[in-house]
Structure 1
Amino acid sequence: MENISTTYTNFILLGLVKMESFRFLYAILVFSVYSTSLFVSLMIVYVTWTEERLHEPMYIFICGLACNVMFGSSAYLPKLLIDLFSKNSTISLSGCLLQAYCVQSHAAAETFTFAAIVYDRYLAVAHPLRYPTLMTNLTSQKLLLAIWVLVLMGVCGVVFLTARLTFCGVNINNVYCETMSLLQLSCGDITVNNIYGLMWTAFILSTSMLVIIYCYIRTVVVCLKLPGEASQKAAQTLVTHVIAFSIFEVGTLFITLRYRLRGISLSTVGHVVISMSGMSTSIAVNPLIYGIRTKALRIRIAHNLQNVFLNSK
């Protein structure tokens, strides 16, 4: 038992300790995930920015999703890569809080952005004639800005409440920091943290899921009434969103609940597998899903890559 009068300001990421034996293999995997995600996300942002025909709300939202993927992956994968090569497994309290702030902001912003995308698609399918006035480029940009302001303020409260605690342990069962891991090491009263954290999580899930479920149902109903080709096009967009959202939400749900479910004890390896698969899968896969399944983006990305290849010759 640690002495509760001792307050620690540096922590050990036990996940990195467990990965030490095969650290070069893990480093290659981390680099592959990060570089692929970064490359595809940058291509989505680039073609959306440079192609005037893609200056539409749907592509603006997808561009926002790609930017968030770059933000979230850069919050922990570069440090993880450096730590694996340098055999470092420690992190300072300030570094831990900053990483937690970025990782949790990414997750919340991703959830709200998915809700904005499905709402945009619902308007496009259900109100095609009024869509240009209901969802303009400026409206989509304002929605993305509102999402980020809300998220940064909400997560700021989570991190601030965590920063005021004293810590009597140093071992974090993960390869990156999050506030729930730090709460497990606190030797003070964390009731306020738990209440605020649960309320914030409930707010994110309830608001986003209500919008998503409502829009899914209404979109499906409209699709059933549309003629064959129009219905197929609308359904394809919906399926793309369902796949991407499901991958992200399942991973996030496991990460969120692994500390909150009483009576379940996970090993360090279990914590690492859940947290890494939850974060890295959506970060690596979702840009590919939108980049490949969205026809206009796929064509423009392929065209740009072809030009780069020909110019290099």
Structure 2
Amino acid sequence: MVFLGQIRPDYVLLGLKEMEYLKYFYSTVALLIYLTTIFLCTLIVYAVWTEQSLHEPMYIFIGHLVWNDVFGSSALFPKLVIDLLSGSSMISFVGCLIQSFCIQTFATVEILTFTIMAYDRYLAVGFPLRYHSLMTNRKALLSLAFIWLVLSGTQLIGAMLVVKLRLCGNSIKNVFCETMSLTRLACVSPVVNDTYGTTMALILIVSPLLIVIYCYIQTILACLKVSKKANQKAIHTLVTHIITFSTFMGATLFVSFRYRLNGGSLSTATHVAISVCAMSVSFTLNPVIYGIRTEALRMKMVHILKEIK
């Protein structure tokens, strides 16, 4: 196809060829993960939306976090399942750009949402008397809107830099598209793209990680100064955040830096295993952990399920 004056071939997702021999098994697992994610995330968002007592910043952030999981999983699993069942392993250049944009926007939105949640918990525990003035529902919603606005812009710039590249080859070592896999196909060293990607990784991954660690430390120190009952509640919430954030961040860091750490030499099967496992864990862990460990949310979810029956 011709795109902006350049002939762009369709791209081959080599990871799909690796999964060909067990395509019915993989497609079934992918579909189950996707449907489970959609069901749990929708249930949580509905619970937060309909229950007045859950109209607080913490639950707004949780609802946004899991809805972002729906966005990310929808960018991956439907096409993956269709490709596996149809035996197709091709994707157009435009389709590749769109999928890359959606998946990477999902990942960065997830990281910054975790960062705001860590800051929110720090305010709640460290400044309990001033918390409701420091973090209101309006401020929570505005912060989330700001995240989407800024990150959509940064990802759009990244996509535009890829469009300007002259690419040699059309084979991608994965089952989905990402910006780094496209830049590896550049005919010349993509210095500008690599510099931009590294800068954005430092700003959108490393910096939030440091902020979250700082907020966690301050929250733990604040917990030592409150009553035992308040301490237990705060620690319980903090542990929930740490479990979900550390799991997601570990997977994200590995996936993000594998090319920069000579990951280009990894086999296609390794790329597929790392990427799909990391994405699947990210999509399903949040609704499961928050649905189980957050008492008020869990009770509302159980009530909704009983009403359905």
TM bracket, shorter-chain basis: over 0.9
Moved more, 67-76 or 199-208: 199-208
**In the alignment, what sits opposite 2:159?**
159
TM-score (norm 1): 0.95
Q: What amino acid is the match of 1:148?
A: W
Provide the rounded CA distance (Å) in 1 between the counterparts of 2:307 and 2:7.
Answer: 57
Residue 192 of structure 2 corresponds to residue 192 of structure 1: yes
Residue 239 of structure 2 corresponds to residue 246 of structure 1: no
Moved more, 260-269 or 235-244: 260-269
Alpha-carbon shift at residue 263 of structure 1 (Å): 7.5
Alpha-carbon shift at residue 228 of structure 1 (Å): 1.6
Q: Deviations over 1:241-285 (max 9, x none)?
A: 000001111111111111111387211100000111111111111
Provide the rounded CA distance (Å) in 2 between the counterparts of 1:256 and 1:263.
Answer: 10
Q: Deviations over 1:11-47 (max 9, x none)?
A: 1001101101110000110011101111110011111
Q: What amino acid is the match of 1:294?
A: T
**In the alignment, what sits opposite 1:179?**
179
Alpha-carbon shift at residue 207 of structure 1 (Å): 2.9
Provide the rounded CA distance (Å) in 1 between the counterparts of 2:262 and 2:32.
Answer: 36
Q: Deviations over 1:58-97 (max 9, x none)?
A: 0001111011101001011110011111111000000000
Q: Deviations over 1:201-229 (max 9, x none)?
A: 11012331232111111100011222221
Q: Which runs of 5+ in 2 are unaligned?
A: 1-5
**In the alignment, what sits opposite 2:55?**
55
Provide the rounded CA distance (Å) in 2 between the counterparts of 1:108 and 1:51.
Answer: 29
Structure 1 segment 6-155 matched on structure 2, within 5 A: 8-155=8-155
Provide the rounded CA distance (Å) in 1 between the counterparts of 2:175 and 2:284.
Answer: 17
Among all aligned residue pairs of Structure 1 and Structure 2, give the percentage whose two residues are the same amino acid: 47
Secondary structure of the corresponding residue to residue 12 of structure 1: strand
Q: Which runs of 5+ in 1 are unaligned?
A: 1-5
Q: What amino acid is the match of 2:251?
A: G
Provide the rounded CA distance (Å) in 2 between the counterparts of 1:214 and 1:93.
Answer: 41
Contact kept, 8 Å, 1:61 with 1:113, in 2: the verdict is: yes
Instruction: Report the number of matched residues.
Output: 304
**In the alignment, what sits opposite 1:231?**
231
Contact kept, 8 Å, 2:108 with 2:205, in 1: the verdict is: no
Moved more, 206-215 or 235-244: 206-215
Provide the rounded CA distance (Å) in 2 between the counterparts of 1:264 and 1:98.
Answer: 23
Q: What amino acid is the match of 2:62?
A: I
Q: What amino acid is the match of 2:199?
A: M
Provide the rounded CA distance (Å) in 1 between the counterparts of 2:302 and 2:49.
Answer: 16
Q: What amino acid is the match of 1:128?
A: P
Q: What amino acid is the match of 2:250?
A: V
Q: What amino acid is the match of 2:113?
A: T
Q: What amino acid is the match of 1:163?
A: V
Provide the rounded CA distance (Å) in 2 between the counterparts of 1:101 and 1:264.
Answer: 21
Aligned CA RMSD, in angstroms, stands at 1.3
Alpha-carbon shift at residue 7 of structure 1 (Å): 5.7
Secondary structure of the corresponding residue to residue 91 of structure 2: strand
Provide the rounded CA distance (Å) in 1 between the counterparts of 2:210 and 2:89.
Answer: 41
Secondary structure of the corresponding residue to residue 225 of structure 1: coil
Contact kept, 8 Å, 2:48 with 2:59, in 1: the verdict is: yes
TM-score (norm 2): 0.96
Q: What amino acid is the match of 1:94?
A: V
